[in-house]
Amino acid sequence: MQQQVPVFYDEYGNPFIVLREQDKKQRITGVEAIKENIQACLYLYNTIRTSFGPKGMDKALVSKDGDVTVSNDGRTILDHMEVENQAARMLVELSKSMDDEVGDGTTGVVILAGSLLEQALPLINKGIHPIRIADGFEMACQHACQYMETISDRLEFTKDNIAPLYVPATSCLSSKIVNRHGTKMARIAVEAVLDVADLDRRDVNFDHIKIETKVGGRLEDTELVQGLMLDKGISHPQMRKEIRDARIAVLTCPFECPKPKTKYKVEIDSAAKYQQLAQQERDYFHRMVQLVKQSGANLVLCQWGFDDEANHLLMQADLPAVRWVGGLELELVAMATGARIVPRFEDLTPEKLGHAALVREVNFGTSGKEEMLSIEGCANTQAVTVFIRGGNKMLLEEAKRSLHDAMCVTRNLIRDNRIIYGGGAAEVACSLHISHMADQVGTIEQYALRAFADALDAVPVALAENSGLPPIETLARVKAAQVREHNPRLGVDCMETGNMDMRTHGVFETLLAKKEQYLLATQVVRMILKIDDILKPAPAPAQ
Count other C-beta atoms under 10 Å from residue 420's C-beta: 24
Instruction: Check: pTM over 0.85? Answer yes or no.
Output: no
Q: Which fold has domain 26-153+421-537?
A: GROEL; domain 1 (1.10.560)
pLDDT at 301 (0 to 100): 92
Which one-letter amino acid corresponds to residue 370? E
Q: Counting beta carbons within 10 angstroms of the beta carbon of residue 75, is it exposed (0 to 12), middle (13 to 18) or buried (19 or more)?
A: buried
Element (H, E) at 228: strand 227-230
User: Nearest-CA neighbor of 243 among 377, 408, 98?
Assistant: 377
Of 309, 337, 341, the closest CA to residue 325 belongs to 341
Find the helix or strand (DSSP H, E) in which 154 lies: strand 153-154
CATH of domain 227-381: 3.50.7.10
What is the average pLDDT across 212-223?
A: 84
- Active-site residues, by number, are 73, 106-107, 405
- Residue 3: the pLDDT is 53
- Is the per-residue pLDDT at 296 higher than 70? yes
- Report the pLDDT value the prediction gives residue 258, as an integer from 0 to 100: 72
Task: Supply the angle between the helices 31-48 and 106-125 in degrees, to the nearest 10.
Answer: 150
pLDDT in tens, 71-88: 878 888 888 888 878 888
CA distance 521 to 98: 9
Average pLDDT of the chain, as a whole number? 84
The structural domains of the chain, with segments of one domain joined by +, span 26-153+421-537, 227-381
Mean pLDDT calculated for residue range 153-160: 83
Task: Note the pLDDT tens digit of each residue in 23-63.
Answer: 566 666 677 888 888 888 888 888 888 888 778 888 888 88
